[in-house]
Amino acid sequence: EHVDEVTVTVTNDGNGSLVLSYNVQTAFTTPEWSNTYAAEGSAVLSAKKAANANLNSSKQFQFQLLDADDNVLHTSTAIGQGQTATFQSIPYTLADLGDASSKDYTYKIKEVIPTDAETKDGKKVKDGVTYDEHVEEVTVTVTNDGKGSLVVSYNGQNAFTTPEWSNTYAAEGSA
């Protein structure tokens, strides 16, 4: 809170005029106030592992959240079939927008494929599991609503639709 006190003094100059002074100055200086504005928001992304009746139910899977340059921002905890992995919230502030009222950020989500998976017919396979190698790209638009919030949208939608990865399983062996 800022208060600027002004004392106005009125004196008679003896010639029929009144003379005003402001804080003992002959000219009035207009006080100035500066307001500050802050806004913040966050995005939450997730990935779902589809259930597969042929796959061992104890099998665990992980997902990664990457930035537009393929830098890993977060790796999920291990989840089972039919479960959803939620990544850490991505916070935004006005500084992230710079001088713009809105800005787009691109993220990628992918399943973590074991490093020792073999390539068979162009696909990554381990222990009979053929991994879903698709990469989901998400554009998060961050917009200053002018009311103290940064509002996010996901691929142009207000709510994020969790993408799903589906692996296949084929038992191998010989008799």
**Alpha-carbon separation of residue 144 from 43, 50, 155, 166, 169 (angstroms):** 14, 36, 17, 37, 46
Q: How many CB atoms lie within 10 A of CB 136?
A: 18
Give the Cα separation of 113 and 48 in Å (integer).
Answer: 15
User: Does the pLDDT at position 155 exceed 90?
Assistant: yes
Judge contact between 24 and 70, C-beta under 8 A.
no
pLDDT the model gives residue 103: 97
- DSSP SS3 for 94: helix
pLDDT tens for residues 34-78? 888 889 999 999 999 998 777 677 789 999 999 999 999 999 999
pLDDT the model gives residue 58: 78
User: Does the pLDDT at position 135 exceed 80?
Assistant: yes
Closest CA to 42 of 155, 163, 157, 153: 153
pTM (global) more than 0.85: no
pLDDT the model gives residue 174: 65
Q: What percent of the chain has pLDDT over 90?
A: 62
User: Does the pLDDT at position 7 exceed 80?
Assistant: yes
